[in-house]
């Protein structure tokens, strides 16, 4: 299975003061990449990790989809602005403090995913979160 990814840097200012880094994961051979019924999965990591932590899970999900009726349009993973690649880009701004970009599933949709992901109005987003971002009601 070939899983390709593209890296992005998003600047959501003035809505949010820090840069957001994300990876978009695709399968070139996927039958569902243009299927409006196939969801886009958006992954947010736990404190102390980075966006690439989800890659083995994504590979497993695509493998499972091959053996089942699960449809996946594409997957994205987003770095918290004070973790991974984003922390390096935001280093000077982080010296003044930090307001988490994703405290809940609603934040993933409104503050992180929507500014990053080009949606066609028909695509469903599914937030996949671990630990701290998943523990706060949206």
What percentage of the chain carries pLDDT values higher than 70? 75
Kindly tell me if the per-residue pLDDT of 3 is higher than 70. Answer: yes
Q: What mean pLDDT comes out for the span 37-55?
A: 87
Q: pLDDT at position 108, please?
A: 55
**pLDDT tens-digit map of 62-79:** 999 888 999 998 999 988
Residue 129 near residue 44, CB atoms below 8 Å: yes
20-26, strands of its sheet edge to edge: 4-10, 20-26, 74-78, 40-44, 125-129
What pTM did the predictor assign? 0.81
Q: pLDDT at position 83, please?
A: 85
Burial of residue 73, with CB atoms counted within 10 A of its CB: 0-12 exposed, 13-18 middle, 19 or more buried: buried
Question: Which among 79, 54, 68, 70 has a CA at the least distance from the CA of 3?
Answer: 54
Q: CATH topology for 4-135?
A: Rossmann fold (3.40.50)
H helices within 72-123, ranges in order?
Answer: 84-89, 91-94, 105-107, 114-116
Q: What mean pLDDT comes out for the span 16-36?
A: 85
* Confidence bin at 137 (pLDDT 50/70/90): very low
């Amino acid at each position: 299975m070939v899983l390709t990814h593209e890296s992005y840097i998003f600047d959501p200012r003035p809505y949010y003061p820090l840069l957001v880094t994300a990876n978009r994961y695709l399968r070139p051979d996927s039958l569902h990449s243009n299927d409006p019924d196939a969801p886009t999965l958006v992954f947010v990591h736990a404190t102390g990790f980075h966006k690439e932590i989800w890659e083995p899970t994504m590979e497993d999900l695509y493998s499972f989809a091959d053996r089942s009726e699960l449809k996946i349009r594409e997957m994205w993973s987003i770095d918290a602005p004070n973790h991974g690649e984003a922390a390096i880009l935001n280093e000077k701004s982080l010296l003044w403090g930090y307001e988490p970009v994703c405290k809940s599933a609603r934040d993933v949709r409104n503050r992180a995913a929507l500014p990053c992901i080009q949606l066609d109005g028909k695509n469903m987003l599914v937030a996949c979160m671990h630990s701290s971002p998943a523990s706060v009601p949206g």
